[in-house]
Amino acid sequence: MILIKNARVMDPESGFDQVTDILLDGKRIRQVGKVDDVSGIEQVIDASGMIAAPGLIDVHVHFRDPGFTYKEDLQTGSAAAAAGGFTTVVCMANTKPVVDSVDIYKEIEDRCEQLPIKVWQAAAVSKGFEGKELTDMDALYEAGVRGFTDDGIPLMDEKLVEEAMKKAKELDVPISLHEEDPAYIKQPGVNQGKVSEQLNYGGASYLAEAVMVKRDCELAVKTGAKVDIQHISSGVAVDYVKEAKEKGANVYAEASPHHFTLTEEAVLKYGTLARMNPPLRTEEDRQRIIKGLQEGTIEIIATDHAPHSKEEKDKPLDQAPSGITGIETSLALGVTELVEKGYLSMMQLLEKMTINPAKLYNMEQGRLQEGKPADVVLFDPEEEWEVKEYKSKATNSPFTGWKLKGKVKYTICDGKIIEL
């Protein structure tokens, strides 16, 4: 048993927020409240000055395993996640081979059982990520898959998307969508606007995202499916999600820390480290994303943790791959950019990183309550630290060298303290 003493215990689902103790008994939380009887307790953590929250949940990561393990693998990805305070993550299906069959899923799932955190593997919507034919979603669900996505590639066939949504609704699982219509992309990774003009780089228009979000929100209204709009980047897309919710659609939206922290100007400063799909956009877009987080249009903060090798990112802007790592800086960016600046309360930030992602995937995690999984993050909201060393194999982050507030001190998963 582990006793956490004197923590500011915050549970976003119940709204519980007070300085008290937590007793972890094996894989479950036995008690939240002052613990007087210390018999049988193996370890005591004095968490004075720390916040105790449910272990963070990231529903959008790339651990690159199998197929691209020179960038990241399940072990290094899990270590990076734990360092960032995450106890549960959902890996995207754009591995090599693509996770589009039960055999491939099972091979990954078997290896995930050995990891220090909970790693859920999503499966592809379409066979081979080709966007032409649905995977056997029933069989994949029977095998344990709890979410479907072709993340990295947009699904252009509207009829196929509608079919997938109907099946997802039947199985009561989310379908997560990467919304970028190639018709509006001259060159990916950089917003089409003043910075792309300055760099003489074609860029990707906000319309690439907007037209597909509009389409899929309408399909969500029609089918009743639980739809997750991934890494939302434009104000117009936020407005479409808000409209769809008002019509009764079961639509969720994710914002990644880079989209609420940076704008297209970052490309001038950080080069390929600020190249991502969808791209960083204008200050107006960034502010609309923050407003979306405030009003609840965007319920989830998810990193889209996308590791690449240094050699790849050192290529010219038009040749480097898109994406940045993010799982080790996510909480601190939320504290620094959203809480410290008065946009969100600490409870609202935690809600978007614990209970809301848990609800998207129907998880029992994300709750700091008696009887729930013993998944806890302890962090010091006041401690400032410099971003410099990574547990990830990759270092492709524009935030290297930044000073951020909010330092993870302990990550506990299934009642076991993970070495950070």
Distance CA 214, CA 234 (A): 12
Helix/strand/coil for 16: strand
For 316, other C-beta atoms within 10 Å of its C-beta total 8
304 is catalytic: yes
Angle between helices 158-171 and 206-223 (to 10 degrees): 50
Annotated catalytic residue: which of 181, 304, 375, 380? 304
Contact call for residues 93 and 150 (beta carbons, < 8 A): yes
φ, ψ at 223 (rounded to 5°): -95, -25
Length of the chain: 420
Instruction: Compute the distance between CA of residue 205 and CA of residue 38 in angstroms, rounded to an integer.
Output: 60
364 is written with which tokens?
């029992």
C-alpha angle 55-56-58 in degrees, rounded to nearest 5: 140
Question: For residue 38, what are the CA distances in angstroms to 16, 18, 328, 375?
Answer: 23, 21, 34, 21
Strands 148-149 and 118-121: unpaired
Closest CA to 244 of 215, 284, 264: 215
Q: Could you list the active site residues? A: 304
